[in-house]
Amino acid sequence: MLHRSDVILLPPLARGATLAAFFLAGFAMAAWAPLVPYAKARAGLDDGALGVLLLCLGAGSLVAMPLAGALAQRIGCRTVVVAAALAVSVALPVLATGSGFAVLAIALLLFGAGIGAIDVAVNIQAVMVERAGGRPMMSGFHGFFSIGGMAGAGGVSTLLWLGATPLAAVLVAAAVNVLLLAGFARGLIARGGGAGAPLFALPHGRIVLIAVLCFAVFLAEGAMLDWSAVFLTGARGVDPSRAGLGYAAFALAMTIGRLSGDRVVARLGGPAVMLTGAAVAASGLALAVLVAAPGAALAGFAMVGLGAANIVPVLYSVLGRQTAMPAPLAVAAVTTVGYAGILAGPALIGFVAAASSLAAAFALVALSLVLVGLSARVAAA
């Protein structure tokens, strides 16, 4: 197991390093998003080929996540985060300049593996820091991931808008990654102590329930990311130039909810936050589907973000308290299953929408959130 002494010796430094690591995770992942149209045009890809290419990012992440949990337990979070962040920083310039499908595919596999490994390692770090600190911190950590995502996508987009080449823009992003590492890496857990830890362990006990609930919440997040704009344009007649406001409302509300979430969790407790949050999120989807007005849809999407904001952080906090599995392996298992929700969820929604309607697909997502709320007492106790 990772040693709590690594955290107890320098609690302020450990907490600050964890916040910075979450910011880095969000920043590095989002820096790729503005490059997608450039890579598509440079490689001459159609939508189908681009979809296949983007699967490489998910494949890299899904392979790396279980391994990252075991490695963090064996050699510590610091080594995993530093190595993964450097891998991402190497992959970004290739993604900004590569013109062949094979080159981009390999770069995306490396990029996805780096992002997946960072995601697991920083959550393991967060579990240990929160447990040592004895108070809720997880929502704030995840809030910094959201802030990093906005900074990464917004920063690279701004540089491109100002006339920078894709390579110049990502070199700035890579430099930010390296500077962040130089500033906070010493505050990450440096040693593992689990030399005999298995490289992979199937989730069992309460971890299975937590993983399924995270899948459902990430499914809702994936629905907002990939389908909110489609819903606004197709079902509510919003001009495509303004359709991105749906996801913006969701993301802003989620960030606000997470930055204030630790105080809410400390006052109300994890089960109550999960139950209330799931009810708010499900009600938001119901509002978007049942009220045929663009304003209602935007308000509904914001409710999804606010309601879902603290459910996953609460569940990750449980991973630090449970005894069914070592915390690093439990975090890796839950993160892998949850990430599968983001990857596979939008496709499942597309299948339901094709067979019925997008409104019906959103209704099913709302139902899954209701089930999350009903499971709160068992999962988060």
Same domain, 214 and 138: no
Residue at which a domain ends, from 187, 215, 236: 187
Q: What is the pLDDT of residue 191?
A: 65
Verify that 182 and 212 share a domain, yes or no. Answer: no
User: What does the pLDDT read at residue 9?
Assistant: 44
Task: Specify the range with the lowest mean pLDDT, choosing from 171-175, 268-272, 335-339.
Answer: 335-339
* 110 in a structural domain: yes
| pLDDT recorded at residue 6 | 41
CA of 106: how far to CAs of 91, 310, 314, in Å?
Answer: 9, 35, 35
**Residue numbers of the domain that contains 363:** 206-380
Is residue 200 over pLDDT 70?
A: no
Q: What single-letter amino acid sits at 7?
A: V
Question: What is the average pLDDT across 239-255?
Answer: 86
**pTM for this prediction:** 0.84
Same domain, 246 and 136: no
Q: How far is residue 341's CA from residue 349's CA, in Å, rounded to a whole number?
A: 11
Predicted confidence (pLDDT) at residue 281 exceeds the cutoff of 90 = yes
Asked whether residue 377 carries a pLDDT value surpassing 70, the answer given is yes
Whether residues 163 and 274 share a domain: the answer is no
Nearest alpha-carbon partner for 148 in 101, 171, 106, 115? 115
Q: Are residues 81 and 124 in the same domain?
A: yes
With bands split at pLDDT 50, 70 and 90, how would you rate the model's confidence at 299?
very high
Number of domains into which the chain is organized: 2
In a domain, 200, yes or no: no
Instruction: Kindly indicate the confidence band of residue 187, based on its pLDDT and cuts at 50, 70 and 90.
Output: confident
Is there a domain that residue 257 lies in?
yes
Does the pLDDT value for residue 53 go beyond 80?
Answer: yes
Q: Of the residues 187, 215, 233, which one is the last residue of a structural domain?
A: 187
pLDDT tens digit string along 68-105? 988 888 888 899 999 999 999 999 999 999 888 999 99
Position 376 scores a pLDDT of 95
Domain end point (choices 152, 187, 222): 187
Domain shared by 96 and 215, yes or no? no
When pLDDT is averaged across residues 255-276 and rounded to a whole number, the result is 95
What count of other Cβ atoms lies within 10 Å of the Cβ of residue 221?
A: 22
**Spatial separation of the C-alpha atoms in residues 231 and 215, rounded to whole Å:** 22
* The most confident of 51-60, 246-255, 339-348, 363-372, by mean pLDDT: 363-372
What is residue 33's DSSP assignment? G
Q: Please check whether residues 219 and 177 belong to one and the same domain.
A: no
Quote the CA–CA distance of 223 and 47 in Å, as a whole number. Answer: 19
Section 150-173 average pLDDT: 90
213-246 pLDDT per residue, tens: 999 999 998 888 778 888 998 889 988 778 878 8
- Let me know if residue 98 belongs to a domain: yes
CA distances, 114 to each of 20, 28, 86, 196 (Å): 17, 9, 8, 24
Q: Is residue 195 part of a domain?
A: no
Same domain? 42 vs 153: yes
Phi-psi region of 202 (alpha: psi -120 to 50; beta: other; left: phi over 0): beta
3-class SS string, the chain: CCCCHHHHCCHHHHHHHHHHHHHHHHHHHHCCHHHHHHHHHHHCCCHHHHHHHHHHHHHHHHHHHHHHHHHHHHHCHHHHHHHHHHHHHHHHHHHHHCCCHHHHHHHHHHHHHHHHHHHHHHHHHHHHHHHHHCCCCHHHHHHHHHHHHHHHHHHHHHHHHCCCCHHHHHHHHHHHHHHHHHHHHHHCCCCCCCCCCCCCCCCCCHHHHHHHHHHHHHHHHHHHHHHHHHHHHHHHCCCHHHCCHHHHHHHHHHHHHHHCHHHHHHHHCHHHHHHHHHHHHHHHHHHHHHCCCHHHHHHHHHHHHHHHCCHHHHHHHHHHHCCCCCHHHHHHHHHHHHHHHHHHHHHHHHHHHHHCCHHHHHHHHHHHHHHHHHCHHHHHC
Per DSSP, 293 falls in state: S
**pLDDT confidence tier of residue 277, bands split at 50, 70 and 90:** very high
The CATH number of whichever domain residue 125 belongs to comes to 1.20.1250.20
The verdict on 157 and 41 lying in the same domain is yes
Residue 101 lies in a domain: yes
Mean pLDDT of 51-73: 86
pLDDT on residue 5: 42
- What is the per-residue pLDDT across 114-148, written as a single tens digit (0 to 9) for each? 999 999 999 999 988 888 888 899 999 999 998 99
Average pLDDT on 185-208 reads 71
Indicate whether 245 belongs to any domain: yes
Same domain, 230 and 328: yes
Same domain, 251 and 126: no
Query: Does residue 2 register a pLDDT over 50?
Result: no
C-alpha 227/C-alpha 223 separation (Å) is 5
Does residue 123 fall inside a structural domain?
yes
**Helix ranges, 162-244 (H):** 166-184, 206-236
* Same domain, residue pair 306 and 161: no
